């Protein structure tokens, strides 16, 4: 009961909702109704054009994998940090 109370209080509740969306996405992907790279975009970029960092390259964080994997790791890490921070600050 303490864990559920911790997971659904204010700062952590936002990340809990995002984590539930991520878990739902991966369950749908596991069943086969979604594709891991479904949010990737294939753009033809001119070689002479200056490359500016796009939102897609920012979320990939140098992993080189699909954006869904990177976003899932960001959400999971944020949720864990929020849980442990909330637990450590409110245990006193």
Domains contained in the chain, number: 1
Q: What is the pLDDT of residue 55?
A: 55
Report residue 36's pLDDT band, with 50, 70 and 90 as the boundaries. confident
> Using CA atoms, how far apart are residues 83 and 7, in angstroms rounded to an integer?
7
Q: What is the pLDDT of residue 80?
A: 93
Whether 79 is in a domain gets the answer no
Report residue 15's pLDDT band, with 50, 70 and 90 as the boundaries. very high
Residue 45 has pLDDT above 60, yes or no: no
- Average pLDDT score over the chain: 77
Q: Give the CB-side neighbour count of residue 73, counting CA atoms within 13 A.
A: 11
Whether 54 is in a domain gets the answer no
Q: Which residues have CB under 8 Å from 7's CB, separation 6+?
A: 13, 16, 83
Whether 5 is in a domain gets the answer yes
pTM: 0.69
| Residue scoring higher pLDDT (48 or 25) | 25
């Amino acid at each position: 009961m303490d864990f559920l109370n911790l997971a659904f209080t204010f700062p952590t509740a936002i990340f809990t909702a995002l984590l539930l969306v991520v878990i739902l996405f991966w369950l749908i992907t596991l069943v086969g109704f979604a594709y891991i790279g479904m949010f990737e975009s294939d753009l033809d970029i001119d070689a002479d054009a200056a490359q500016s960092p796009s939102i897609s390259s920012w979320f990939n964080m140098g992993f080189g994998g699909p954006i869904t994997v990177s976003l899932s790791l960001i959400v999971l890490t944020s949720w864990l940090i929020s849980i442990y921070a909330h637990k450590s600050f409110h245990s006193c």
